[in-house]
Amino acid sequence: MLASYYTVKGYGEHEIEIQRSRFIAYIQRAETEVEAQEFIQKIKKQNWNANHNCSAYIIGENDQIQKANDDGEPSGTAGVPILEVLKKKHLKDTVVVITRYFGGIKLGAGGLIRAYGKSTSEGLAATGIVERKLMRIMHTTIAYTLLGKVENELRSSVYQLKEIHYLDKVGIEAYVEEDQTEAFKEWMVEMTNGQANIRSGEVIYMEQDV
């Protein structure tokens, strides 16, 4: 699992007009090629009367799945420019469909490349990009006498407080970056003079707006 990576926040769409042609960007997160293809087919069905529904996607930890489709536009003028924007922004698990309703004015190869690139960039900006960071949930159990100190220190630290459980003892859950778990344990032991019971919990991805 990657320590961190960038992807889109979720579903989004954004429309621009260039030389009377409408370019509508449809964007979605997709973690498998099946999800990407299903999204493309959904948009094609939704815009069955459009002149073109061009698409591209990047999927996988190592960007191992990359596809681009011009859908009738001159070769290399639509799908590839969409894909290049995704690569330039270092996005993963992202699918984009640009629907074009032709307005009667031909743009030429260079114009099409710029138009599809611009539509993709603006669509991504409208949808939003997030950084997903791999975090470990660390569980710490302490006596109530230590709660004030530990909670205050935790809230002002680089670690993120998740939840506090008030039971026989206090259970504190915190999000810690995977490569900082040992440092967190040492910090907690030192702060509580060894009076804390610390264990590692599950690993999850947390998202933060970019």
pLDDT in tens, 67-107: 999 999 999 999 999 999 999 999 999 999 999 999 999 99
Helices 181-191, 147-155: inter-axial angle, 10-degree rounding? 140
Please provide the average confidence, as pLDDT, over all residues in the chain.
Answer: 97
3-state SS assignment for residue 21: strand
**Residue 54's pLDDT band (cuts 50, 70, 90):** very high
Model's pTM, two decimal places? 0.88
pLDDT in tens, 133-175: 999 999 999 999 999 999 999 999 999 999 999 999 999 999 9
Q: How far is CA 103 from the centre of its chain?
A: 33
Residue 13 pLDDT: 98
Domains and CATH numbers, the chain: 7-127 (3.30.230.30), 131-209 (3.30.70.240)
Residue 41 pLDDT: 98
- Residue whose structure tokens are 């910090």: 187
Rounded CA gap, 85 and 68, in Å? 12
Average pLDDT for 178-206: 96
Bridge partners of residue 136, in order along the sequence: 176, 203
- What does the block give as tokens for 123? 């669509």
3-state SS assignment for residue 81: helix
